[in-house]
Chains A and B, each alone.
Chain A
Amino acid sequence: MSDMNQAMVEKYRSSFLKEVEANVEEGHWVKMCMQCGVCSGSCPLGPHWEHPPQEIFMMIRAGKREDVLSSSSMWMCTSCYNCIARCPRGLPITHIMHGLANYSKRLGLQPKNQPTAKFSQLFWNNLTKTGRVNELKLGLSLYFMNGIGPGIKTALKMQDVGLGMLKTGRLNPLEILGGHSIKDKSGLQKMLKKAFEIEEAKIAEYKG
């Protein structure tokens, strides 16, 4: 972490909660957690989390900015919604986890080589290019996510599935040439660019 980032951490040490409330989707709910632990107990992946949701909320309140934002915890969420269904206080925990993941990525604090983070980026890149998801390209980029070697290996392993999909018309090989797109591709891209600028301006002061 840069020195500047360190300074920001110090600045917001006592008010990381406020930062979360301002910048994280549904972040204003964090203060309402009553630490009962039902979310942590309900999470099917709970034992694999570095910090279960209840603990994440407490860490936010305790001002542990770096620990929270660089944690792999919120990237582990599978959106099963068990926690939301069970939270006695009605916290949208799943949404908060996604919000936290998104925010940490924005700040560039997400753990390196976190597969969910990587896949999310691939998906976003794929989608924003044409405004439509190109499934063939998405699949291939996923195969080659970890390099050429593993990519070829995975592709060979999956070739029967791919051919099956081809035969039943579930996969169009011509998509490799660019694929279908929405009508106003550049319009979408302009819109997204503007939104990105606004968001960036908003969190600029929090960035390291």
Chain B
Amino acid sequence: MADMKIGAYICQGCGIGDRVDTAQLASVAKREGKAAVAKEHEFLCNAEGVKMIQDDIANEGVNHVVIAACSRRAKTEAFSFDGVCISRANLREGVIWVRPDTDEARETTQEMADDYVRMACAETKYQKMPEASGEQGLTRHLLIVGGGISGMTAALEAAKTGYKVDLVEKTGQLGGVAGEMYKKYPAKAPYNVLADNTTGEMIAAIEGNGNITVHLNTSVTKTEGAPGRFTVSLATESGATKDVTVGAIIQATGFTAYDLNKLPELGGGKSPDVMDQLAFEKMVKANGGAIKKADGSDAKNVVFVQCAGQRSEQPGHLPYCSGHCCMTSIKQARYVKEAGGDATVIFDDLRTPGADGEDVYRGGQEAGVAFSKGKVNSVEAAGKGLKVNYNDKILAEDTNIDADIVVLATGMVPNSGPNPYVKLDLEMAEKDGNEELAAKLKAEVEKAPPSILNLMYRQGTDVPHLKHGFTDSHFICFPYETRRTGIYTAGPVRRPMDAHQAIEDATGATLKAIQACENAAIGRAAHPRSGDLSFPSFRKEGCTQCKRCTVECPFGAINEDEKGYPQYNEARCRRCGTCMGACPVRVISFENYSVETVGQQLKAVDMPDEFSEKPRLLVLACENDAYPALDMAGMTRQEYSAYARIIPVRCLGSVNTIWITDALNSGYDGVMLMGCQKGDNYQCHFVKGSEIAHIRMSKIDDTLTQLNLEKERVQTYEVSIADIQRIPQIINDMEKLIGEIGMSPFKF
């Protein structure tokens, strides 16, 4: 890029001009921020204001633009200029809206605004325009692993858009569990009737589709590359192999029914007439609707036992609800009614989710299915049939019912590959000599299922799990994203669900997979920084091959080359900067976000001396939740300390401890880090960023002790986007705390 020319533009609108001296801000931008151009405007985001900036870019050669107006989250369309770096000073939500309009407050408000202008100028000085990595590739081709209802839906949806699809199925036929159904629920109202199984039509549509290649009896033996350029090796049972190049991957490997034999108290494995829902479905289908016992005689009474081995805290049982089983039992009970028999469903909580759920339940009741709230204690043989002993929870009594067939509603166990982190943790535990943990992890690794994707990734062969073997995804914001960019999971491998939900899920995952291909072609990031063109790079001569970045990357994006240097794989990167925060020698940076862009901002703040009674609090706020919450605090006029200086960060994971050290060395009295909720119920948009930051900060005490500073001066918080009142409160509490423990002695 040619010589840097900074243009600073200061807005006077929305009351900014009334509350702060904008001429002084322009002068700060010029003198201290080294802006070549500094202009005030009474209404910067209107056409005239925007044109003023555009003219300066076109005619004056301004290539770094500082907008001192509203939050960087506001007016993004007006203030978007191609080919220049943009930095925003948040004078509206960050200054005038969070400060009282009083004469006493005027001085500190002006100081706040001055500092934000200084910071924005400092930031842009160290920004560069993102440039293409040269890794981009466009492959309009998807690999779908799993030929059940989810996989088939994904294949058809992708083919409709013109994408090519390779559909890989482990068994000899498409259809999966959905293909085994006797009847299904209709996809649209009225829902209280049963419809024919249409899986056969779906299979025919796939077989007749020129965009879809089906590979039966096939598994994936190797997956290499990144979104836009995955190379996948397929192998059939007979040993034939084939390599395909795809842009993105959808894993729709479905579920296996929980093993009935683990429930002997409910008769599982003891009588052929005690079966799971899938076995019952197959039996009815094979008999064309007749309900027959194992000995071939007609079954008159069928009892359905809900929550068999699930929603249970017993060891070995599934603790979760599989979501579909109540609906499935109601459907199967209707088969019994249609065949002229009696059906009883014994439930604890009958759960029929979805728009159709209530109609389905009602349809079952109208058909005469008996429903009984109770807990089944045992199923035993009685004469030629079975006896179900249960506790009736409405009548509060132990009772029993005779049955010819007992159907156990066992849960869904996801067909996911091994959780890669168990193996990595094992390696770590072995290295650390933690034998107890190593033994435990080793047992887990040994009973892990075989790999499904065989990824050649630094962080293991498969997509990571969250809980109970279900693959991880950001449940609230980005449900389809896994922790491996360009690889999407759909259907019951992601969470328990029924066929209708799986169809929806697969459609969503296909959309995301297509986006991933198209994004990879132009170097854009996927969620949550969608559209971001920057990507991390490192200064090789400074790298010590410590591998922290390759280990800590929440998305397993970074591989290592033979010499142990990181390979970033741009298209796999989500641009959170966790690698940048991890790097002890600070050689990792993005073009427009680096140790310098933040470090220089915090150093640009004017530091009043120790006796001024004006402390300075540095707030590093996650741009996903904490920063929007701070903006909303402004919008709702929640006041907070005039001594806080807030810098948004991509993720708390990108916070390098050098910033904390620098801040304390330059005289800040307190440092506050605000990130998202971590742990199993995480809200962190980069899954692990907040957690990693909390771990790093737990070790910052040493630094503070070395500097002879109080530990309370550095605090890390988990905040949510709804904490509009809480965040100003914790900032104010920090100011109070500083008042108690005194100002930092490091001011110059």
Question: Could you tell me which A residues sit within 8 Å of B by CB distance?
Answer: 14, 17, 31-32, 34-35, 54-55, 58-59, 61-62, 64, 89
Partner of B373, one of A17, A31, A35, A59: A35
Cross-chain contact A34 with B394 (CB below 8 angstroms): no
A89 to chain B, nearest CB (A): 8
- 5 interchain pairs, CB-CB under 8 A: A31-B368, A32-B366, A55-B395, A58-B373, A61-B370
Q: Which residues of B contact A61 (CB under 8 A)?
A: 370-372
Q: Which residues of A contact B342 (CB under 8 A)?
A: 14
CA distance A133 to B366 in the complex (A): 41
CA distance A54 to B372 in the complex (A): 12
Cross-chain contact A31 with B395 (CB below 8 angstroms): no
Let me know if B488 is at the binding interface, CB within 8 A.
no
Binary contact readout B379-403 vs A (1 if CB under 8 angstroms, 0 otherwise)? 0000000000000101100010000
Most chain A CB within a 10 A radius of its CB, from B362, B372, B395: B395
Question: Could you tell me which B residues sit within 8 Å of A by CB distance?
Answer: 342, 350, 361-362, 365-366, 368, 370-373, 392, 394-395, 399
Most chain A CB within a 10 A radius of its CB, from B362, B365, B372, B399: B365
Partner of B392, one of A14, A31, A54, A58: A58
Q: Which residues of A contact B365 (CB under 8 A)?
A: 31-32, 34
CA distance A155 to B342 in the complex (A): 57
Q: Which residue of A lies closest to B370 (CB)?
A: A61
CA distance A61 to B344 in the complex (A): 10
Which 8 interchain pairs have the tightest Cβ spacing?
Answer: A58-B394, A32-B365, A31-B365, A35-B373, A58-B395, A61-B370, A35-B394, A55-B394
B363 to chain A, nearest CB (A): 11
Q: Which residue of B lies closest to A54 (CB)?
A: B394
B470 to chain A, nearest CB (A): 30
CA distance A31 to B342 in the complex (A): 14
Q: Which residues of A contact B395 (CB under 8 A)?
A: 55, 58-59, 62, 64
Cross-chain contact B399 with A62 (CB below 8 angstroms): yes
Q: Which residue of A lies closest to B344 (CB)?
A: A61
CA distance A61 to B401 in the complex (A): 12
Q: Knowing A55-B395, A58-B394, A62-B399 are in contact, say whether A32-B362 is a contact too (CB < 8 A).
A: yes
Q: Which residues of B contact A62 (CB under 8 A)?
A: 372, 392, 395, 399
12 more A-B residue pairs beyond the given contacts A34-B371, A35-B371, A62-B372, with a C-beta to C-beta distance below 8 A? A14-B342, A31-B366, A32-B365, A32-B366, A34-B365, A35-B394, A54-B394, A58-B392, A62-B392, A62-B395, A62-B399, A89-B362
B654 to chain A, nearest CB (A): 50
A63 to chain B, nearest CB (A): 10
CA distance A31 to B371 in the complex (A): 8
Q: Which residues of B contact A55 (CB under 8 A)?
A: 394-395
CA distance A55 to B395 in the complex (A): 7
B329 to chain A, nearest CB (A): 15
A56 to chain B, nearest CB (A): 10
B247 to chain A, nearest CB (A): 48
CA distance A35 to B392 in the complex (A): 12
Q: Which residue of B lies closest to A28 (CB)?
A: B366
A97 to chain B, nearest CB (A): 17
Q: Which residues of A contact B371 (CB under 8 A)?
A: 34-35, 61
CA distance A117 to B342 in the complex (A): 36
CA distance A144 to B372 in the complex (A): 46
Q: Which residue of B lies closest to A59 (CB)?
A: B395
B746 to chain A, nearest CB (A): 65
Q: Which residue of B lies closest to A32 (CB)?
A: B365
Q: Which residues of B contact A58 (CB under 8 A)?
A: 372-373, 392, 394-395
Q: Which residues of A contact B361 (CB under 8 A)?
A: 34
Q: Which residue of B lies closest to A57 (CB)?
A: B394
Q: Which residues of B contact A14 (CB under 8 A)?
A: 342
Q: Which residues of A contact B372 (CB under 8 A)?
A: 58, 61-62
CA distance A59 to B396 in the complex (A): 11
Cross-chain contact B350 with A34 (CB below 8 angstroms): yes
Q: Which residues of B contact A64 (CB under 8 A)?
A: 395
CA distance A34 to B370 in the complex (A): 10
Q: Which residues of B contact A17 (CB under 8 A)?
A: 370
Q: Which residues of B contact A31 (CB under 8 A)?
A: 365-366, 368, 370
CA distance A92 to B362 in the complex (A): 16
Q: Which residues of A contact B362 (CB under 8 A)?
A: 32, 89
CA distance A167 to B362 in the complex (A): 58
CA distance A31 to B361 in the complex (A): 11
Q: Which residue of A lies closest to B350 (CB)?
A: A34
B569 to chain A, nearest CB (A): 53
CA distance A55 to B361 in the complex (A): 20
Q: Which residues of A contact B368 (CB under 8 A)?
A: 31
